[in-house]
Chain A
Amino acid sequence: MLELSGVEAGYGSVRVLKGVSLRVGPGEAVALIGANGAGKTTTLRVVHGLLEPSAGQVRFRGSTLAGVPTEARVALGMGHVPEGRQVFSRLTVRENLRLGAYTRRDAAGVREDLERVLEVFPRLRERLRQKGGTLSGGEQQMLAMGRALMGRPSLLLLDEPSMGLAPLVVEQIFRVIAEIHRAGTAVLLVEQNAYLALELCSRAYVLTTGSVVAEGAARDLLVREEIRAAYLGG
């Protein structure tokens, strides 16, 4: 479904990714873990076309994505729940969600999906007319996820969905991610909280200063000594 090979990228003269290769199979949930500044967010930005790689290739559903703009990648089936949620703070919750379906033309399907998202996140239904910026952090995370789901993605990119949220909310968010994954959507999850990520995903890549230093089945990584020491707090 998604395949990165030898991707290098950076900002200005700063090289952040130094040859990252990874793949996500159809319907697979893959975690990308690593310390702050390892290049996890940058990897997602390259996948979604917000940053052009200086070398290497990104392939999605069998074709290369070179030169394909971000908005067209959404139409191809990518959904992105970005770092810091980035909801439209002065649009209502309903407007935020509807914009998530911007690339779609099937009005009936969009209405159905809106209903489904509101069933998954009942809190959003109570706040449909409220401005996005007035929501709590957890509600904004739900809104960002709901917005991405409105595009009916086949691959969902999630960037630190647990950041800054209370444990109870994190639990709820991860339950929903697991449900989305079970329903057949592929997930590429970037997460500081490696335990959470490895519990949800079947495979994982460990990123250190722009390179993949370990990869494998999540349950194997969970017991590997050096990974426990570095990312799981011993």
Chain B
Amino acid sequence: MSGAEVLAQQLVNGLTLGSVIALVAIGYTMVYGIIGLINFAHGDLYMLGAFAALSLIGVSGLAPGDGAAATWGTLAWVLVLVMAFTGGLNVLIERWAYRPLRRAQPLAPLITAIGVSFILQNLGMLWGALPLEVMGTNAVAPKSFPDLIPRVDLLSRMGLATGVRVTTKDLFVMGLTVPLMLGLHLFVTRTRLGTAMRATSQNREAARMVGIPADRVIAVTFLIGGALAGAGALVRGLFFNTIVFNMGYGAGLQAFTAAVVGGIGSIPGAMLGGLLIGLISALSDHLISARWTPAVLFLILIAVLVFRPRGLLGDPTGQKA
């Protein structure tokens, strides 16, 4: 493999990983945009989404090698159910943990979010102990996620003999994440509720003055952010084929960094930041070492906070999107 091919391969890997990171980053940025909270529990919600996806696939009996129709049909249902689960759970978390603290000083919900994160991680451990075949025998051990999507190299199929592999798996990830992000963009910019959401994040009091039920809009924001994390979790499980109860921490760090790089509060920023962080992670994995990738991400996070705190697409006035 030539140097150029290696680089191109890392670009493909980075974009695929990045689009999953972007889905999670959107949840951070939307919640920050609307209530100014860094929701530390978001990564753990994503982890629970992966556990829910694995359990549903286990229950459905779907296995690698099943026909395409059965695989896609079942996965579509799993996707819908997982998104409903993580979206609904996020709404409950907001209702019970964050809403009562709406008028408290900002540190209170932040610490609460860390507490929720611990609760969710423990739920993940308990979930791992469920008597399901897919969970194995050790509750806290990584679970293997069935490799349901064949990895067919598309370029060589098309007769392009290069060292770069763009597989059906990459295509699957893009095919799911890109429409979700486009849909979100259209919802936020074109619909009445989406406009109300932007208004609420800019000025909650003025939003209430024109009759927007701010609490309900905030709940919808958690619903959407949670549902996208669930979709990301299913995609991640199918792509990397392993999940573990504490995966939310690393995934959360990546996604949070992406949200900050893109400009926290900005949805397009989270999408762009996700792709960038995916690329940087892939390059760091390859050029430095996967062990150093979290350190690289922390360095980027610090550099952005020092030199461009509003991120790439954040609002110059420092207000929220």
Contact = CB atoms under 8 A, between A and B. Distances in A.
B318 to A, nearest CB: 12
Contact of B214 (A71, A95, A147): A71
Given A88-B203, A90-B315, A102-B192, A74 B198 contact: no
A95 B195 CA distance: 7
Interface string B204-222: 0111111111100000000
A91 B199 CA distance: 7
A102 B202 contact: no
B196 interface: yes
Nearest to A74: B211
Contact of A88 (B192, B206, B211, B315): B206
Secondary structure of the B side of the interface?
A: helix
A100 B42 CA distance: 33
B321 A82 contact: no
A50 interface: yes
A48 interface: yes
Interface residues of B, number: 20
B206 A70 contact: no
A80 interface: yes
A87 B196 CA distance: 13
A99 B205 contact: no
Given A88-B202, A99-B199, A82 B209 contact: yes
A71 B212 contact: yes
Contacts of A50: 205, 208-209
A151 B208 contact: no
Interface in A85-140: 86-91, 95, 98-100, 102-103
Interface residues of A, number: 24
B210 A99 contact: yes
B60 interface: no
A80 B203 CA distance: 14
B209 A91 contact: no
Given A100-B210, A102-B210, A86 B205 contact: yes
Interface in B306-321: 315, 319, 321
Nearest to A100: B210
Nearest to A102: B211
A89 to B, nearest CB: 7
Interface string A145-183: 001100100000000000000000000000000000000
B211 A82 contact: no
A88 B209 CA distance: 12
Contacts of B199: 88, 91, 95, 99
B192 A80 contact: no
B244 to A, nearest CB: 40
A92 to B, nearest CB: 10
A98 B195 contact: yes
A22 interface: no
Given A90-B315, A90-B321, A103 B211 contact: yes
A80 B195 contact: no
A184 interface: no
A67 to B, nearest CB: 14
A50 B206 CA distance: 10
A69 interface: yes
Nearest to A70: B208
Interface string B155-195: 00000000000000000000000000000000000001001
B293 to A, nearest CB: 35
Given A95-B195, A99-B196, 7 more contacts: A71-B211, A87-B206, A88-B206, A99-B207, A102-B192, A102-B196, A151-B211
Interface of B: 192, 195-196, 198-199, 202-203, 205-214, 315, 319, 321
The 5 A-B pairs with the shortest beta carbon distances in the complex, nearest first, are: A74-B211, A103-B211, A86-B206, A70-B208, A102-B211
